Amino acid sequence: MSDRVYIFDTTLRDGEQSPGCSMTVPEKLRMARKLVDLGVDILEAGFPIASEGDFEAVDAVSREYPWAQVAGLARCCTLDVKRAAAALKHARRPRIHTFIATSDIHLKYKLHKSREQALEEAVAAVELARQHVDDVEFSAEDGARTEPDYLEKICKAVVAAGARTVNIPDTVGYSAPREYGALIGRIARALGDCAIVSVHCHDDLGLAVANSIAAVEAGARQIECTINGIGERAGNCSLEEVVMIFKTRPDLYPFHTGIHTEHLFAASEMLSSIITFGPQPNKAIVGRNAFAHEAGIHQDGYLKEKSTYEIIDPRSVGIPEGRLVLGKHSGRHAINQRCKDMGYELTREELDALYHRFTAVADHRKKGLMDEEIAALIDEGRRALGVAAD
């Protein structure tokens, strides 16, 4: 039996608050539709106290998708919690997500509060949020750098006050899988069936996905993540990556999500069209080159049997088919296949002639050759062969 892991999407909140990613309310609504199609479990639509736009976004998403579980963020104070509750008024399944920093470094330099004060404010905010909604999530900001005994104490206290989900973020992307998994395991054991443990990882060391997976193995059942991994600084855990890890390796990870993976590519594309940048070309799952094979040996194997070099069927994430990039590393097999796809039947001689011309051109290129260029080379080769035969 595989366990269900909830996907909490924060593309419209943590993602949106990073440079180059601002979205207007209509843009957030457009993206929200895709996220709903994708099947995310919880949709964090904004931080209502932060701006008028954030309030409107949470309100608009709640009205437009009343069946969706919509979350609004709030610091642990009366004003924030009430503002989040007001923004969520039209949601049928509202979630107030309230947070306070718990690490000594944040308490001392940022909040100027003692551990006891933070705990009291956390409990009070959760109690207040519960007066407005049934579903309250508490986040211990900078949880991964929080002293574990205190972290366990505050988690138990907020659950006793009515929080159903407790999130332990690696706010600064400092933790590593073994360490983070151990911390999450400890909190999951301490809370037992009383609450769902959630994780929220940042990618400053490139470990956001690995940390999230380690946390799920240790007992977490909610992952906070974003499309294309956008978010503060180096970004958040990438939604498409964690989801596809569970789907591709059920032998290692007996977990499943409610994500309809065939919508992943479209969601990534839509986000790229709204914000100022897309994923890097070599980004796992949704990058332009994620299913593009260029090396000759790889292309030869792929053409004989896809599973030699392809671990994910591109159609399962909504990409039409694995692409072969014809460049200087390509071999005769792939070039011949492309010619067939373009409607050419080449003799052995013609293929040889094309192959030599092709590698001569491709050798000076950073990018592969376009189909039209290949067609021109075929004609050139045929003419040369014709001349030689005369």
Binding site for Mn ion (CB under 5 A): 14
C-alpha distance from residue 284 to each of 61, 214, 240, 288 (Å): 29, 19, 8, 9
Instruction: Name the minimum Å distance from CB 171 to Mn ion.
Output: 6
Q: Which two tokens stand for residue 323?
A: 């692409």
Instruction: Name the minimum Å distance from CB 230 to Mn ion.
Output: 11
Specify the residue for token string 């049997």.
305
Measured CA to CA, the distance from residue 371 to residue 37 in angstroms comes to 35
Q: Which helix (H) or strand (E) holds 219?
A: none
Q: Which two tokens stand for residue 386?
A: 């014709």
Instruction: Name the minimum Å distance from CB 286 to Mn ion.
Output: 21
> SS3 of 249, please?
coil
Q: Which two tokens stand for residue 82?
A: 């009430």
Residue type, 209: V
Measured CA to CA, the distance from residue 25 to residue 211 in angstroms comes to 32
Instruction: Name the minimum Å distance from CB 250 to Mn ion.
Output: 29
| Strand partners for 352 | none
- For Mn ion, the nearest residue by Cβ is 14
Contact 251, 311 (CB under 8 A): no
Specify the residue for token string 């073994």.
178
C-alpha distance from residue 183 to each of 166, 179, 191, 205, 253 (Å): 13, 6, 13, 18, 19
Instruction: Name the minimum Å distance from CB 7 to Mn ion.
Output: 16
Closest to 35 in 3D by CA, of 253, 244, 258? 258
Instruction: Name the minimum Å distance from CB 152 to Mn ion.
Output: 22
C-beta closer to Mn ion: residue 225 or 351: 225
